[in-house]
Every structure is written in C-alpha cells, then in structure tokens.
Structure 1
Amino acid sequence: MRTGMLALALGLLCLRVLPAVPSVGIVAMMALIGLCCLPWRARLLGLFLLGLSWACVSAQQALDDRLAPALDGRTVWLEGRVVGLPEQGGRVVRFELEEAHSRRAELPRRLQLSWFGGPPVFSGERWRLAVSLKRPHGLLNPHGPDREATLLARRVGATGSVKAGERLALAEAAWRDGVRQRLLSVDAQGREAELVALVLGDGKGLARENWDVLQATGTVHLLVISGQHIGLLAGLVYGLIAALARLGWWPQRLPWLPWACGLGFAAALGYGLLAGFQVPVQRACMMLAMVLLWRLRFRHLGVGLPLLLALVAVLLWEPLASLLPGFWLSFAAVAVLTLTFSGRLGAWNRWLAWGRAQWLIALGLLPVLLALELPVSVTAPLANVFAVPWISLAVLPLALLGTLLLPVPLVGESLLWMAGGLLDGLFRLLAALADWHPAWVPEPLSWFVWGLVCTGALLLLLPRGVPMRVLGWPLLLLAVFAPRERVPHGQVEVWQLDVGQGLAFVLRTRDHAMLYDAGPAMGDQDLGERIVLPTLRKLGVNALDLMLLSHADADHAGGAPAVLRGLPVLRVVAGGSARLPAVLQAQPCDNGQHWQWDGVSFSLWQWPGARDSNQDSCVLLVEASGERLLLTGDLDAPGERAWAHDWQATRVDWLQSPHHGSRSSSSQSLLSTTAPRGALISRGRYNAFGHPHAEVMERYRTNGIEVFDSAVRGAVRLRLGDFGEPLGMRDPPRFWRDPS
C-alpha cells in the first residue's frame, strides 16, 4: 500500500517540473496505459501515470481559465462578487472578484484587482467595475519568487486595475469581514492587525517591519493560520475530553476516543472556516483527518502512512499545491518530526523533547529552504522554543475565546486586550532577536552539493549510534562553506534585473561588485528594497564597491536609499547628484574617469551640454576581453549624438536601450556608431508610456539588433568577456509561464 501511495504521489508531484502540459491526446494515452497497468505487476507504473494524468488535467483547466490574449491590457466593464478579505490599507484597495461576467467577453472565474484611491470594498458585495485586465504576470529575477506560479496555484485567471465602479449590492453573508472589522475596532494594545492575522488568517494589515521580524526569526507560521494552529485547537479539544475521561467525568455511555477525535476535527474545521478555508487550511485539515483516523482505527499501520495518505489527498484535491513553497515546508516539517520521534528507544524528558523538536525542525528544513531559495533564520530554534508555547497556550486561546465572546459586554474586549498585550511583548522579544542576528540569505548551491547537504541533514536526524552519523556535520556545513563559482579574471557577470518601469544592473568581476541604477521607488512600492537588495544578497554580493546612479529620476535612483541601508556601499556616484537625497552622499559623475577591476575596464561619460535630468545621465562603458557593454541611463537623441562624436565613442557588443526604448532615443546616429549585436530593454510590461516605441523596434530590426526585453524575458544574464548569448529568466520553459 505504501509503495502504491508513493508512486501516485510522485506522479502528482511530477507536474512541478514539466516544461509544458502535454496535449489532450498524450494525457489520455497516459491515463489509459495507467489503467491497463493496474491489474498487472506494473501497478506502480500505472499509479504513477494516473497521478501524472490527473495533475496535467487539473493544470490545463487552470491554464484554460486564464484571460484570453485578445483581452490583455484592455479595459472592460464587468460585474462580480467580492470574495475573501479585501486589503484596505494605504491608498490602494486590493481584493478578489468571483462570478465575474461581461457582456463583451468571457472572463476567468477569479480576478485579483487593485483600485488606487478606491472606496472601501467589503467581502460579499457585488460591484460593476471598469477594469484594465491583464494576464497573470510578475517580475522574475534570479533566485526570487515566481508570481505567475503562485497566481496559477491560487487559480487566479487575471489581474487588473479598477478605473471606475459602482456598488450594485451590499454584502451578503460576509460574516468574516464583519468579524475583522470588529477585531480592528477593539483595543488590543496596538496589535489589532496581528490579532486579525492570528484569528482570521488575514495578514494584509501587518506592517512591513513586523513581517521582517517574523521572517528573520523563522516565526511567520505563528501569525499565519497553518497546520500548527489547526492541530493545536484539535489537540486542545482532544486533550480536554481525554482528561475528562481519565478523571471519570466523561459520560460512561459515550466512548471517549471517537468523541475526542470527532469533536477535535469539528473544532479544527470550524477554525478553518473562520480562516476562510484557503489551500493551506484545507491541507492542514486533510492531514489532521488522516492522523485522527489513524488514531481511531489504524494505529497498527505506523505513523508514516497517515502522512503519505495526507500528501496524496492534498495533491488529488489540488495538484497545483506543489507550486507553493508552503506545501513543501509544511509536509517537510511533519516528516522531520515523524522521522525523529518515532521508533526511538526510551523516552526524552518533556522539556528536552520540546527543545530538540525545534532544533530538529530547523535542521531538517534547511535543505528545503535551500532548494526553495528562501532565507534561513539562524535564530529560529531559539525563537520558536518560547514563541510557539507563547502563542499556542496563551495568545491563541485568549484570542479565539475573546472573539467568540465579543457579543458579551466587556468580556470579549478584555480577553482581546490581554491577548494584544501578550503579542506586543512577544514582538518586542522577537525584534531583539532579529536585530541580534538577521536571517541568512544563502547563495545558490549546485544540485550535487545540495544532495550532499540533504544527506548530512538526514544523517543528523537519525538516532545516536547509527554508523557514520558524525559525517552529517561536514556534509551539512557545505551549505555555508561549499566553493562557489567565481567570475573568471577578465570577465564580468552582468544582470539586467526585472524591475518593471525602471532600471537596475548588477555587474560583478572576480573580486568587485557594482550596481548601475537601483530600481524604482514610488509611493509604498520600493523595488530597491523588494527586489534589488534581496537579489544582490542571493547573488552573493555582501558589499558594493560602487553604486552608480545614472540620474536622479525615481525610476532609476528611487531604490538607492534601501540598498544603502541594507548593504555596505564604498562609494556612490551619480549624474545630477545635487538632486539626490543628502543621505546618499553621492559624488558627481566624473566625465572621462577610467579604472580597472580584475582585468575589466570601466569608463564614465556625461554630456556637458545637458539641459534636463535625462540628458544628465552618467554613461558607463564596460570592456572585458574585447567585448563591450554600454549603459546609457535615460540619454535621449541629442545626448546620443554628443556621445557619438566624443573621443570615447566606439563599437559595442551590447547596448542598454536608452530611456527604456522611448521614441526620443536609440537614434540612428547612436546605432550606427555602436553597431551592437543586441539591445537590453528594461521596462514595465503594461507601462503607460508605450515603451518600447514601434519606431525604435523597427530601427533595431533594420540594423539587425536582437532585443532582450525584461518584460518578455525577465531578468537577463550576460557574461561579458566570453562572447556568449544573454539568457533570460523566462527562456527555460515552465508550463505556468505565459509565453506571450
């Protein structure tokens, strides 16, 4: 039975690595072969093929429900019902719409919308909206999250921005939104948003600094309704009935074990409904159901089978769950505890067992975090030792009981006030831990080294006395000390990051690193903090020798303060430095300055006759082993002509398309002088400026210049000095990525 379940699970999980979903004919053939194999010795192959076939059918249904390409970027009037808990904070209202329909077009079942400056929107309301619809898309950078995979896993068929709208009907049966509003109105000592996250699983209201503290200490799972919360509530109910039965206070005519299992699951299911019964909660309830069923009827089957059955049940219910990091983390955590606490000789002291559980989970999840390219919290074992019981035994019971008793005057508010005070004290301690040791952002490992790290973690999870267990330590330490690939002398690794309508280039030689522009920051969207800084860390850049800002516009220099706060920067140079914030301490661009790093030449140029910010751009020419790259910022046609007549003007191999490919740039004078092989364009897919302009694209085509567009290919990597071709992050096919 176990091998059959494992084969089925592997078939369902194989969807995660498919470059494309097979055609209907191939899927039907796989399913038919799988059915034919079941009665024979090839039963395992049959189960594998059936699992893969079902996963492919489910994935194709989600892909077919995406917005039609003909509607991409169009504004459509539609009607629909608001679902979930809308995000009301700041100037933007974000919410999801279901049952959307339009007279002119067929729409996906679920839409994710944002409304800048919009009115309050509540769950259950029906709206008529004018929406600029977009196919699911996201910025894609090295070792960063893949938003398209997340949207597909949540079966969001389109995103969009609301231009206008009117409410057609008030909320119906939107009790969760009512509970949220009531929780936000009570006095919880400034921790109302945290209570909403804990009770309703809605973390949208948490401040960014609180998320940073939770991530740095590995305690995000405590403020997001997860398997731990579901299992805790079920365990409290189960333990209460077991204690009553042991004391003789449980009715003798009622067998206590079935009632404990049934009422425990009912409590967990009710909590899941309160949390919206999203995919993580569904997964937790399925796992709990398997565990309780095992406890009730099948204890002789061991503890591994319920976990395997839960895995298969979750994947059969939602095969796309494997695209979400939370799926792997939750099952891996349970698997680690199952492995380490089952089949041990003797018993551990209760407090010793609790401390070991946190340490072993951190150890066992390390390979998973490395594979998912997520930050690793060094302080997580220590933080969870006190934070888990703090939340589980004190805050959560008070919060749930207070929410339940809100209709009773003063009682509910008092309990929530106490819960908020406990949360405030916990966050103060966690903040101190986060300041003491931030999360570690590991560099990517090769698959071979990662396999050795996995082997090391597995050896250390085994009981003492197992032969060769001590070898786990050196294997595990490869995660930190494994030799990384270094840029060869005389070459430079160049990344054009995908930062939407902005610009950010990372350049690394063997021993030096620089950043050319730092991405945009507008309003509460700082891509310097959200994308540029995390990407630098994941690329192994721990300090910058130079941050060169082409000019002072927000789409180029807006992210610079966040980068400066997060990394040591030896020097900041900028075009139009006087217009930048004083905190940057930027030096002016020195026209004609030239230097070398590790056999790579760099030189700066700035037009003395510049009359505006774009013309003031500081231009960088990089040459590595005879191959050249020209970074131009937002230089326009007059500035390009001035550069073309300067003594530094030369042929280049790669050109950063000036001003994102606007009509006023990429003049024929520049293209004739530089004669590049390719042009790198950084722009937002749905930008309001029409970049890149059709005339510019036609000039590139006429001159035989290949275009590498970040909106189409994601972040682009170029190894200057080996005369190879650039590689876009979207070039390797994945079935969930939009090929358009």
Structure 2
Amino acid sequence: MRIWMLAFAAGLVLPRFLPMLPGIWACVVFAMVGVLMLMCRRTVALGLFLLGLSWACYQGQNAVDDRLPASMDGRTFWIEGRVVGLPGAVGDVVRFELVDIESRHVGLPSKVRLSWYGGPQLRAGERWRLAARLKRPRGLVNPQSFDYEAWLLARGIGATGSVKAGGRLSASAATDGWRDRLRARLMDVPAFDRQGAIAALVVGDDSGLSRSDWQVLQDTGTVHLMVISGQHIGMLAGLLYGLVALLARLGIWPRQWPWLPWACGLALAGALFYGCLAGFDVPVRRACFMVAVVLLWRLRFRHLGVWQPLLFALNGVLLIDPLVTLQPGFWLSFGAVAVLALVFAGRLGRWVWWKTLLRAQWAATLGLLPLLLALGLPVSASSPLANLIAVPWVSLTVPFALLGTALLPLGGVGEAILWLVGGSLALLFELLSFIAAWRPAWLAVGLPSWALLMIGMGALLLLMPTGIPPRALGLMLLLPLVFPPVTAVPEGRAQVWLLDVGQGLSVLVRTREHALLYDAGPRQGDFDTGERVVFPSLRSLGVARLDKLLLSHADNDHSGGAQAIQRLMPVAKIISGEPQRHAADLPAEPCESGLAWQWNDVRFSLWQWQAARDSNQTSCVLLIEANGERVLLTGDIDEAAEQALVRSRQDVQAQWLLLPHHGSRSSSSESFLRAVGPTAALISRSLHNAFGHPHPSVSARLLALDINAYDTALHGAIRIDLGDFSAAEVMRTQRRFWREK
C-alpha cells in the first residue's frame, strides 16, 4: 500500500522538475496506459505513477494555457470581475486578485493579480469594473532570487497588472468576504500594535506584519508559527478531542451521546473550520488530511502509525493541486513532519517532555537544512533556541486568540482577551528580536547537486538512532557546508554578471580574489532590490565581501539597494559619481577620473565628465579589460557626456558595451557606438517600462551596426566570461515549464 502511494505521489511531483510539459495527447496516453497497468498487480505501482504524472501534467498545462496571450501583453483593457482573497495595502498601493472576469476581449485569463496605486479600500466579494494594463506573468531571473513566475502559476494567476481607473459595480454579499470582514474587525482591536500578528494567527493574513517583523521571523526560523500552520490545526483538533475525552472521564459528558464519535467529529470540525479561516494553504491542507485520517482510524479502533496518514495527506494535497510543488512551503511542510516522524516514530522508552522539545527542535533544524539549501532559503542558526521558546508560546496563545475572536460579538469581553493576546505576542516579538540580533539568518553559497546530496545523506545519518555504525560519517558528509565548492575565476580573467533587477542596474565583477559591484539596483517602497535580489545572488555566487561598491550616480534605480548591500555584507570601499547625494550612513568617496588599478591581472579604470551639468552626466564610467577583452559600463551618461568621453584620452574601444541610460533616446548615439565598436550591447531594464527603454531609434542603430543585444528583460541575468572571447550566457535559457521564454 505504501509503495503504491509513493508511486502515485512521485508521478504527481515529477512535472515540477521537467523543462517542458508533454502535450495534452501525451497525458491522455499516459492515463490510458496507467489504467491498463492497474489490472495487473505487479504493475499497479507503475500504473499509479503514470496516472499521477498525467494528471499533474494536465493541470500544469491548463494553468500555462490560462495565461494572458502574448498578443495582449502590455495592453490596457476594461474588465469586470469579483475580488477574492484578502486584499492588502502597503503604503498607498492596494493589491488584490480578481476572478469571474468578463470583457469584450476574448482570451483573458480567469484570474489576475492587480495593483492600484492610490486606490480605494476594496473588500472581498465586491464586483468592480476596471481599466487595467495587463502583463503576462514574468519575474526576475537571477542566480538566486524569488521565483515570482512559479509563485503566480501555483496560485493560478494568469496575468498581473496595474489599475488606471475603475468603479464598484456591487457590494459584497453576506456570504462572501467573511474572512475579509473578520480581518478588518481584528485590525480594529487595540492589542499593543500587534493586530497584524493576531490576524495572521486567526485568518492566515500576513499583510499586517511589517517588513521588520518578517526579518525577525526569518532570522529566527519562526515564520511557520506566525501564520496558521499545520501545528495549529493539529493542536486545536487535539484540544477539542481531549476536552470531550476529559468530560467523558469525569462523567460530565451526556451518556446518550457516545463520547468517541463526538470527540472525533468535533476535532475534525474544529480543524476544518480553522482551515477555512486560513484559506486552506499547503500546511493547513496537509494537517487537515492527516487529522481526518488519524481520527477515522481512531474511530475504528485501529492503530495507524504516522507514515500512513502522512502519505494519505501527501497524495490528497497533490491530487487537489499538483502545482503546489512550485511553492517552497509544500516541501518544508511535509519535510518537517517527515523528519519528526523519522526521529520519534518507533523509538523505545518514554521521553521527558523537555528532552522531547529539545530533540524536536534539533531534528527539525538539521533535517530541513538540505531543503533550505536546495530552495535557496536563509538558514537560521538560532532556530532551535527561538522555536524552543516560540512553539509552546504560540501554541498557548492561539486558543485564546480564537476564543477572543469568537467572543467579539459580546463587545468588551472578546476585545479584552485579544488585548491580552496582543500583549503576549508583543513580548514574544521582543524576545525574538533579541535572538535575531544575536544570531541572524545566513544565506549559503549556491551548491551543486552532488554537494546537496552529500549534505542530505549526512543529515539523514545524524538523525538515525544512536548505535547505527555509519552514523558518525554524517558529520563528514556535511563538509560542503564548511568548505563550499565555489568555482574560482582563472587568473587574468573576470566574470561579469549583469543582474536582472528590473528598471535599474547592478553589475557584479569577480576576479580570482576580488569582487566589485557596479550599482545596486532600485528600491521601490517596501521592495529593496539590493536586499531581495542582489545580495542573494552575490551569496549564491560565493561572494562573501566586496572590495569595492561603485555607484555610477545617486539616482534610485542605480543606488537604491546600496544601503542594504552595505548592511548585509562587508564592503571595503564605496565610490560614487555623486557622493554628496547619498545618505550619511553611506559614506562614499568621489569618482576620480583616470584612477586605475589591477586585480589578478585584470585592469580597471574610471572616467567622469568634469563639466557634467546633471545627475546622469556625472555617472562614473568603468572600463574593465581582461586578456585583451573589454567591457565598458557607462551608467546613465547622455549624448553630451558620450562625446566628452570619446574626446578624452580614454581608450573607449570595447567588445561589450552597457548601453548608457538603459538605451534611452538621449544616449547611445551613432558616433559613440562607432567609437566603442562593440560586438554586443547589454541592456538593463524591465519589460514594458514606462520610459520606453530601449528607444526604437537605439534598437535600429544596433541593428544597422550589426551589434548583438543582450536584454535582461528578455534574457534574465547575463554572464560574461571576460577574457575568453566567448558568447554570453543568459539565465532564461535554463528552461522551466512555467518560465516565460
């Protein structure tokens, strides 16, 4: 039975790792062959595998086909639809999802995610008519960053966009949007400014948690505790079951009602209701399935163990939504339960409660380490200590949060309870902040598959019972963590990465022993590209410190992420084209025209126009030469600065040219392109940007001069092995079935 369930789950999971999906007809063939194999007992496992594979591929292809057609990309449409989920507001930006979409245009997706700058308050269940500019799902592609396209596909979102205008057609019905109304009520309760945390625990809405709150939770490895998780579901079910059992034992439970069916029924009802509050995310689905299976077997007086319910839950979650494998939470949720089952199931003797807590935290930290590394997520060294405090704390807090919520209609009673809950959560965050400051989370170097496999085997061996002979080898298998296998840049060569930071710029230059970052990307509201994109990419590439952070000038799209980079990793020196415009906590030296240096036989030289009249013209230009091959990084200089650069004594000829000012019309003049004579041009910009970069006239010049264009909006991050005179490598060629070409 277990082999059959594992085979079915393997088929449902496999598409996650495929570069492309088979066609619908291939899925039909797989399903037919799978059904035939079910008729022979020896091939049942293979038949279930094929059935799972066909179902997952079919669902994945449907989701891919439901995306906005390429012909409609970037266009504005009038659409009507119903608001679903929990609309959230960050600053003056309202973000929400729309379904049941109607429009006179054919081919629009069934679900879109929209942003409305300065928009009104929206409620779930309302129906709106909106003028929205829609875009195909597309995210930044870098050595290490959040896979936004996978996240959108997993949620069934076929387009993103921004609202230009709109009006409400109808209000929310009484049966619609009840979670939204409950969240709004919770956010109005005075609770030591921790209303957002209460809403996260009660309805699973994390929009009320600040960026600093998320940083603390990430640094301490306690993110799973602050939004409804499987642990909360199981705890509530156990509490209801135990309450009925206790009343029955004390003789208080009515005798005409058999206590066991009532205990199981109430426990399951409580778990499902709590799941409804949370919106049935992955951990919640898994927990509800496990609770249902365990209670069913308990009702029939059969001992089931832990692996059978886990496999039932795994198959149930995957069967309902195979695309859930695109979410990190799926792997971490089931991985955590599997690790705890491995550590505690079947062990002889009784555990003292404090030993159980210690062992659970140690095992979860070690067991989830390979998954965190494979997913590129931060690893928290303080997680065992933080969870040792936070797990029982939150477990005791949740029942009171639910009780206070249930008693809100009674006026002051419910609010008083939630006020105490808020005080408890405020104190918990203070403790977690102290732990986070002591030992923040860290991002590991990007590891190859063989190193991840070694670490996984090492963790598995260390989790084995004491006395297993090869258990000590587990420590040796963890050596790639201490000595990560980083590919060194050859002497006399440079590795240049043009990172995909949207409408901005960030270029990493590595030599054998040194690293330089040219610009740090933009910061837009609560989204800091330096923190979310540039820093993770640097760590993935093995950069632990920067010898120089060179900011071409002080505009946000070039220097917005600089403070985050300085905060997150050591920076020996900061140079800027406009040092006077940076904040006081970002001390920068001025760009000195003519300054040159060598790192590992790679030559660097700077230039700046001394007669510059505006910010763009002051951009600090960097020329890099390795083994006779050159790349020219130009910041945002315009045509006047280009001509000044050509007239200077600087030798501007280069094989690679970063187009000035993202390819704007005021830059990249024909005379400048001829003077540089590049064989390839680099363009850093976002797709459908408001500035129209690159300008059609610039693209026409590149075509006329036979200059190849590498564009981050089309190609993702771009890697150049300077000194090898080879073609650039682009990250969008690494195929994923959900990734836009």
Q: Would you say same fold, with TM above 0.5?
A: yes
Distance 1:93 1:457 in 2: 43
Distance 1:476 1:28 in 2: 44
Query: Which residue in 2 is equivalent to 1:67?
Result: 68
Asked if the contact 1:649–1:673 (Cα under 8 Å) also holds between the matched residues in 2, the reply is no
Asked if the contact 1:93–1:115 (Cα under 8 Å) also holds between the matched residues in 2, the reply is yes
Query: Cα offset for 1:291?
Result: 3.0
Answer with 530-539 or 699-708: which moved more. 530-539
Count matched residues.
738
Q: Aligned runs of 1:68-467 on 2, under 5 Å?
A: 68-173=69-174, 174-297=177-300, 299-393=302-396, 395-467=397-469
Query: Cα offset for 1:98?
Result: 1.1
Q: Does 1:11 align with 2:11?
A: yes
Distance 2:583 2:431 in 1: 34
Answer with 292-301 or 628-637: which moved more. 292-301
Query: Which residue in 1 is equivalent to 2:521?
Result: 519
Q: 1:478–1:254: structure 2 CA closer, same or farther, 3 Å change rule? A: farther
String of CA shifts for 1:558-603, please: whole Å, max 9, x gaps.
Answer: 2222222222222111113233333322221111111011221101
Answer with 276-285 or 650-659: which moved more. 276-285
Q: 1:678–1:290: structure 2 CA closer, same or farther, 3 Å change rule? A: farther
Query: Cα offset for 1:478?
Result: 2.8
Query: Which residue in 1 is equivalent to 2:44?
Result: 43
Query: Which residue in 2 is equivalent to 1:561?
Result: 563
Q: Which amino acid aligns with 2:531?
A: E
Q: Which amino acid aligns with 1:416?
A: L
Q: Which amino acid aligns with 2:602?
A: V
Q: Which amino acid aligns with 1:99?
A: D
SS at match of 2:77: strand
Distance 1:467 1:157 in 2: 52
Q: Aligned runs of 1:616-635 on 2, under 5 Å?
A: 616-635=618-637
SS at match of 1:635: coil
Q: 1:100–1:558: structure 2 CA closer, same or farther, 3 Å change rule? A: same
Asked if the contact 2:144–2:536 (Cα under 8 Å) also holds between the matched residues in 1, the reply is no
Distance 2:294 2:679 in 1: 61
Query: Cα offset for 1:650?
Result: 4.1
Query: Cα offset for 1:190?
Result: 1.3
Distance 2:372 2:560 in 1: 31
Distance 1:579 1:676 in 2: 32
Distance 2:166 2:285 in 1: 33
Asked if the contact 1:294–1:306 (Cα under 8 Å) also holds between the matched residues in 2, the reply is no
Asked if the contact 1:290–1:307 (Cα under 8 Å) also holds between the matched residues in 2, the reply is no
Q: Which amino acid aligns with 1:205?
A: G
String of CA shifts for 1:35-72, please: whole Å, max 9, x gaps.
Answer: 22222333322221111111011011111111122221
String of CA shifts for 1:423-462, please: whole Å, max 9, x gaps.
Answer: 0110000000000000021111111111111111111111
Q: Where in structure 1 are there 5+ consecutive unaligned residues? A: none
Distance 1:322 1:624 in 2: 43
SS at match of 1:336: helix
Query: Cα offset for 1:253?
Result: 4.4
Distance 2:677 2:32 in 1: 56
Aligned partner of 1:695 among 690, 694, 697 = 697
Q: 1:257–1:671: structure 2 CA closer, same or farther, 3 Å change rule? A: same
Asked if the contact 2:143–2:717 (Cα under 8 Å) also holds between the matched residues in 1, the reply is yes
String of CA shifts for 1:650-697, please: whole Å, max 9, x gaps.
Answer: 432211111111122222222222222221110011211111112211
Q: Which amino acid aligns with 1:73?
A: G
Q: 1:297–1:141: structure 2 CA closer, same or farther, 3 Å change rule? A: farther
Asked if the contact 2:716–2:730 (Cα under 8 Å) also holds between the matched residues in 1, the reply is yes
Answer with 571-580 or 9-18: which moved more. 571-580
String of CA shifts for 1:604-662, please: whole Å, max 9, x gaps.
Answer: 11123322221211110111122211101112222222223333224322111111111
Query: Cα offset for 1:252?
Result: 4.1
Distance 1:54 1:86 in 2: 31
Q: 1:318–1:522: structure 2 CA closer, same or farther, 3 Å change rule? A: closer
Asked if the contact 2:282–2:317 (Cα under 8 Å) also holds between the matched residues in 1, the reply is no
Query: Cα offset for 1:293?
Result: 2.8
Distance 2:299 2:498 in 1: 57
SS at match of 1:86: strand
Q: Which amino acid aligns with 1:29?
A: V
Query: Which residue in 2 is equivalent to 1:29?
Result: 29
Q: Does 1:480 align with 2:482?
A: yes
Query: Cα offset for 1:500?
Result: 0.8
Asked if the contact 1:110–1:155 (Cα under 8 Å) also holds between the matched residues in 2, the reply is yes
String of CA shifts for 1:121-173, please: whole Å, max 9, x gaps.
Answer: 11111111111111111122212111000000000111110111111112213
Answer with 396-405 or 25-34: which moved more. 25-34
Q: Which amino acid aligns with 1:308?
A: L
Q: Which amino acid aligns with 2:373?
A: L
Query: Cα offset for 1:298?
Result: 7.6
SS at match of 2:164: strand
Distance 2:365 2:328 in 1: 16
SS at match of 1:465: coil
Query: Cα offset for 1:231?
Result: 1.1
SS at match of 2:612: coil
Query: Cα offset for 1:223?
Result: 0.9
SS at match of 1:730: helix
Q: 1:730–1:532: structure 2 CA closer, same or farther, 3 Å change rule? A: same
Asked if the contact 1:493–1:509 (Cα under 8 Å) also holds between the matched residues in 2, the reply is yes
Asked if the contact 1:369–1:375 (Cα under 8 Å) also holds between the matched residues in 2, the reply is yes
Distance 2:383 2:232 in 1: 18
Query: Cα offset for 1:476?
Result: 2.4
Answer with 530-539 or 231-240: which moved more. 530-539
Asked if the contact 2:682–2:709 (Cα under 8 Å) also holds between the matched residues in 1, the reply is yes
SS at match of 1:735: coil
